[in-house]
Chains A and B, each alone.
Chain A
Amino acid sequence: MGRAVCVPPLVCASPSSFADPRDAGVNVGATWGDAPYPVLVIDRDGALVGLNAAARRLLPRGNGEGTRRHLVPSWLSAAHRRLTERAAGTVTAPLTGEIDERRYEAHATPSEDGAVVWWLIDDTDRRVAEAALYSSQERVAVLSAVSSRLLSTLNVPRCAEATVSMAAEHLAEAAVLVLPPQGRRHTLTHARRGHPVQRVVRRIDPRTVQGLAEALQGFPPVPARWIDPDGLPDWVIPEGFTGPVGSVIVTPLPGHGVPAGALILLRSGTERAFTEGEEVFARLFAARAGAALSAARLYTEQTAITATLMRELLPPALHTVDGVEYAGQYRPAGDEERVGGDFYDFHPGSESAQETLVVLGDVAGKGLDAAVLTGKIRNTLHALLPLAGNHDEVLRLLNGALLTTQHTRFATLVLASVRRQDDRVHVRLTSAGHLPPLIVRRDGSVEEVPTRGTLVGALPEISSVGAEAVLGPGETCLLYTDGITEARGGPLGDEMFGERRLRRTLAECAGLPAEAVVERVQMLAAQWIGAGRHDDMATVAVSAPAKVPPGSADREGAGEHGGRRK
């Protein structure tokens, strides 16, 4: 009687009527009526001709007048039509569909008269469990991808970019990373899903976002539901983010002992709010990002410190001053470290009557410790420059400044005060525990400057004996560190370059300009070492320029050692 009322998505598939399907007398056996699963019998024409108690409880009733018939869900009617249109006896795979927000699997048992008995099995819980398993597997995969991507860079901006872009991809529609302030400005890195990352540095007030000021201090995150999305300041919203913000998470990035920043995750009002599980996941994500970011920041700070120190400690460029040639070369032990234990320094006199002070030295040890001591020595000597007329006094004061009870790290060095008088160069030299300088005369003879003294920085009292030398045109005084004479190499690989070879090398340098002398000495020592390891090697040459061709002047043996002092 009358057509069934269709109420999408549920339809009444029955064109005929019945008082009670149980009375329909369909020949499908009797026990199904008591089965714990919902069971429906639908005839060849799609009419619901039978259902058991469980099905009766499950299926909604239509609101037609009088009889409130049970309605068959549309997905099941469609499946039934597909089944009956095919040859009888064909077994089809189980189907699934939703009834009243739960999911059912429908298994069909066709009977001989063309009716089909449908068994419905509730698999909602299994699906929920499967989905949870899948999402947790996915999260593990995301976390491992996050770690490997973040840890592959030690660059803070790149790390920040990777963090927000992965957060926008896996956690939210948009993400903002707020780094700890530098001065009063914060670096903000914005990302919106599917869009390029943007970075700005600006002044912000972290207190304008609930929980952000606390997150930047490393306090635990505020739950998402406490944060009012309406109160968000403009700088939080990435450019192009349309629609109102629906839900927000602010989570700290824990660094190594100090907060590495805070991550703000945004979802628009049209998306679902963050669940508790997602908040926990966001915290896990933040922990990885924080570790990577703070590692990157520590590395960057370290590099900056080293670079600053190196700039201060790199040997100065030497040049000709008042007609006297100066040249220096320094080759650090590891080619990768530009600062080691050897050093030289250069303080040109401001006028020609004033002496130029050259210092070359060697600090015990290597690395940053040695670099710091080198810096201390160079600064102290710079300050003592007005006293450079008295080398003994300078060394005594330097020794006092370096002395400490903490260690016996010492330095050896040579002071050379240089002044030109006509075409001769007068050099006052004092060694403080260092190898004596060598002088190469124009005839190729090599002399050792007879100066000796105690190393500085370790003993309460020191003494030194200075020497004076005069260089004629084309003659050179070479200051060098033991890295040259103790360079190991040669044909057998473990022989020292030695003073004898150095003297022979110098003899060949007679008449050469200062630049050429240091170049040649360093080159031969480097060739001697070959590919082997070596210590720092520093050389400084002071030359009186050869203005006249050798041999044409009567300056042979022009230089001689002056009187000793002390």
Chain B
Amino acid sequence: MTQHPATEFSLTTVSAPSTLIVRVAGELDYDTSDELVDTVAAGLARAPAPRHVRLDFAALTWIDSMGLSALLMVHRHTRAAGAALYLDNRPDVLERMLGHTNVLDHLTAPVTQDAPGPPKEGDVTGAVVS
């Protein structure tokens, strides 16, 4: 069971009408996760705003907890922008992590028409504690 030399982390952005596609290659971890969030946030800020954001993980070799944290942050951005998030071509390592942590449904939930904005401090604690 040999491992190929770690692929260099890279993000490739493809813009189609109303869709933002980001190909994620290499290791999404502590050192690289911020870059993904920034890239998606920048893509969402364009006009016209994309309605769909597809992250393509076909070339993903590794993801750690900070990588997953970045996906959760990406989701906050897409939801705030009213765009749907898709996680395409998920390799085992990502599938396992999404399974253990039980966040796949949350990340890929369909966007409702009245999508709420980003959670505000008051909203969040109020909703959960009450």
> Which residues 331-384 in A have Cβ within 8 Å of B in the complex?
341, 362-366
The stretch from B12-20, B41-49, B117-125 touching chain A is: B117-125
C-alpha spacing A463/B101, complex, angstroms? 11
Q: What distance in Å separates the Cβ of B109 from its nearest Cβ neighbour in chain A? A: 11
> Which residues 1-16 in B have Cβ within 8 Å of A in the complex?
1-3
Contact of A458 among B3, B72, B100 (CB under 8 A): B72
As a 0/1 sequence over residues 102 to 115 of chain B, the CB contacts with chain A under 8 angstroms (1 = contact) are 11001000000000
Contact A400 B68 (CB under 8 A): no
Q: What distance in Å separates the Cβ of B5 from its nearest Cβ neighbour in chain A? A: 9
Contact B66 A454 (CB under 8 A): no
Which single residue of chain A is at the shortest CB-CB distance from B76? Answer: A408
Contact of B73 among A400, A401, A408 (CB under 8 A): A408
Please indicate the chain A residues that have their CB under 8 angstroms from the CB of B128 in the complex: 396-397, 399-400, 403, 460-461
Q: What distance in Å separates the Cβ of A205 from its nearest Cβ neighbour in chain B? A: 48
Contact of B124 among A364, A460, A492, A495 (CB under 8 A): A460
Given that A397-B129, A459-B106 are known contacts, is A495 also in contact with B69, CB under 8 Å in the complex? no
C-alpha spacing A434/B124, complex, angstroms? 23
As a 0/1 sequence over residues 62 to 79 of chain B, the CB contacts with chain A under 8 angstroms (1 = contact) are 001110111011001000
> Which residues 30-89 in B have Cβ within 8 Å of A in the complex?
30, 64-66, 68-70, 72-73, 76
C-alpha spacing A365/B72, complex, angstroms? 14
State the majority secondary structure of interface residues on B.
helix
Q: Is A388 an interface residue (CB 8 A)?
A: no
Please indicate the chain A residues that have their CB under 8 angstroms from the CB of B76 in the complex: 408
Q: Is A90 an interface residue (CB 8 A)?
A: no
Taking residues whose C-beta sits less than 8 angstroms from the other chain, chain A's interface range is 35 or more
C-alpha spacing A558/B73, complex, angstroms? 46
Please indicate the chain A residues that have their CB under 8 angstroms from the CB of B30 in the complex: 365-366
Which single residue of chain B is at the shortest CB-CB distance from A399? Answer: B128
> Which residues 406-441 in A have Cβ within 8 Å of B in the complex?
407-410, 412, 433-435
Q: Is A405 an interface residue (CB 8 A)?
A: yes
C-alpha spacing A486/B67, complex, angstroms? 15
Contact A463 B3 (CB under 8 A): no
C-alpha spacing A399/B3, complex, angstroms? 37
As a 0/1 sequence over residues 441 to 482 of chain A, the CB contacts with chain B under 8 angstroms (1 = contact) are 000000000001111001111110000000000000000000
Contact of A492 among B1, B102, B121, B127 (CB under 8 A): B1
C-alpha spacing A362/B69, complex, angstroms? 13
Contact B124 A433 (CB under 8 A): no
Contact A412 B100 (CB under 8 A): yes
> Which residues 54-75 in A have Cβ within 8 Å of B in the complex?
none
Contact B3 A433 (CB under 8 A): no
Contact A400 B129 (CB under 8 A): yes
Interface-centre pick from A364, A396, A495 (highest chain B CB count, 10 A): A364
C-alpha spacing A45/B54, complex, angstroms? 113
Q: Is A303 an interface residue (CB 8 A)?
A: no
Please indicate the chain A residues that have their CB under 8 angstroms from the CB of B68 in the complex: 364, 410
Q: Is A312 an interface residue (CB 8 A)?
A: no
B interface, CB within 8 angstroms of A = 1-3, 30, 64-66, 68-70, 72-73, 76, 100-103, 106, 118-121, 124-125, 127-129
A interface, CB within 8 angstroms of B = 341, 362-366, 396-397, 399-401, 403-405, 407-410, 412, 433-435, 452-455, 458-463, 492, 494-495, 535
User: What are 13 of the A-B contact pairs (CB < 8 Å)?
Assistant: A341-B65, A363-B65, A364-B66, A365-B30, A396-B128, A403-B119, A403-B124, A405-B118, A407-B73, A433-B103, A455-B103, A458-B69, A460-B127
* Given A365-B65, A400-B125, A459-B106, 10 new contacts (CB under 8 A): A405-B118, A405-B121, A408-B73, A410-B65, A410-B68, A412-B101, A433-B102, A452-B100, A455-B101, A495-B1
